[in-house]
Amino acid sequence: MEMFEELEKINIRPEPFEFYTASDLWTEEYTSEQMLSFHLNENIDVSSRNAAFIDRSVEWIASHFNVEMGTKIADFGCGPGLYTKRLAQRQAAVTGIDFSSRSIKYAQEVATGEGLSISYVTRNYLEFETKVRFNLILMIMCDFCALSPAQRKIMLNKFNKILVPGGSVLLDVYSLTAFEQREETAIYEVNLLNGFWSPIKYYGFLNTFKYENEKVVLDKYTIIEKLRTRTIYNWLQYFSPEALEREFVECGFTVDTFYSDVAGSLFDRKATEFAVIAKKQ
């Protein structure tokens, strides 16, 4: 009976964004190490884009936003500094914010080793405050999609506050095309995701739930080890360009342009992701 109740709990569908465990993924010792290794693998698009795309993206960003000496740029969710490093090499005044202390430590060591002056802040970016006013704010790798509607409003109001007049935000999101491609599933596996969640043996359950009305998907991981059980909620919001524009406009922005990615590719409504540039009014 107890086992049945546990399985019922594992398979229960929460309300959209009812639980928020994002910090567990990035601050837990073992998983943060795993995430950093994904970040630093230059050939894959898991935690970060592959290196060739990042190079192309930074080239486009520098050109499009006229990045030069002293251009103030903030990278929210900077990870190990793959964008911040490249932008600082172009003489921009860069700030990187991330709540993974492991990633920030790595980024700082790279900056120091290359003689780059980059301001790194270890903090949940929802709580980040500064007196600096930026010309450009980045939030890349669809970080915006992991936030609840209330959290997204906090972020956009924060962006508005810390941008100079006419300053820009560049971020990317998952599209409704990507939402349609997702399916509800229930998977059970020993050492689910090839041991990603723990260095010791565990039993992993993955429940994927779709919320049609809200255009939200939840990947709910239940990780059962000998001495503990954890549940990790990985929420993703999917957007139409119109829905994303509404959120920006409500927080005092004007949407400038949509692209298919943060490297300036021509906008394609059928693509699985798209990027937006919004300007502070």
The string of pLDDT tens digits covering residues 203-226 is 999 999 999 999 999 999 999 999
How many percent of the chain have pLDDT more than 70?
Answer: 93
pLDDT at 22: 73
Mean pLDDT computed over 35-52: 63
Residue 243 lies inside a defined structural domain of this protein: yes
Sign (positive or negative) of CA dihedral 134, 135, 137, 138: negative
| Domain coverage including residue 131 | 31-174+239-280
Asked if pLDDT for residue 29 goes beyond 90, the answer is: no
Structural domain contains residue 65: yes
pLDDT band, residue 27 (cuts 50/70/90): low
In this predicted model, what pLDDT tens digit does every residue of 226-280 receive, in sequence order?
999 999 999 999 999 999 999 999 999 999 999 999 999 999 999 999 999 999 9
101: confidence class by pLDDT, cuts 50, 70, 90: confident
With respect to residue 265, please indicate whether it lies within any of the assigned structural domains: yes
Question: Which segment of 23-27, 45-49, 251-255 scores lowest on mean pLDDT?
Answer: 45-49
Q: CA quadruple 195, 196, 200, 204: dihedral positive or negative?
A: negative
37 versus 168: the higher-pLDDT residue is 168
- CATH code, domain carrying 60: 3.40.50.150
Structural domain contains residue 105: yes
Q: Answer whether residue 40 shows pLDDT above 70.
A: no
Q: Rounded mean pLDDT of the chain?
A: 93
Mean pLDDT of 120-145: 96
Average pLDDT of span 79-86: 95
The pLDDT of residue 44 is 47
How many structural domains is the chain composed of?
1
Asked if the structure places residue 50 within a domain, the reply is yes
How many angstroms separate the CA atoms of 123 and 121, rounded? 6
**61 part of a folded domain:** yes
Report percent pLDDT > 90 for the chain: 84
Whole-number pLDDT of residue 45: 46
- Does pLDDT of 25 surpass 70? no
Note whether residue 3 is domain-resident. Answer: no
Average pLDDT over residues 22-39: 69
User: Is the residue at 42 inside a domain?
Assistant: yes
User: Between the ranges 16-20, 48-52, 261-265, where is the mean pLDDT highest?
Assistant: 261-265
Q: State pTM to two decimals.
A: 0.92
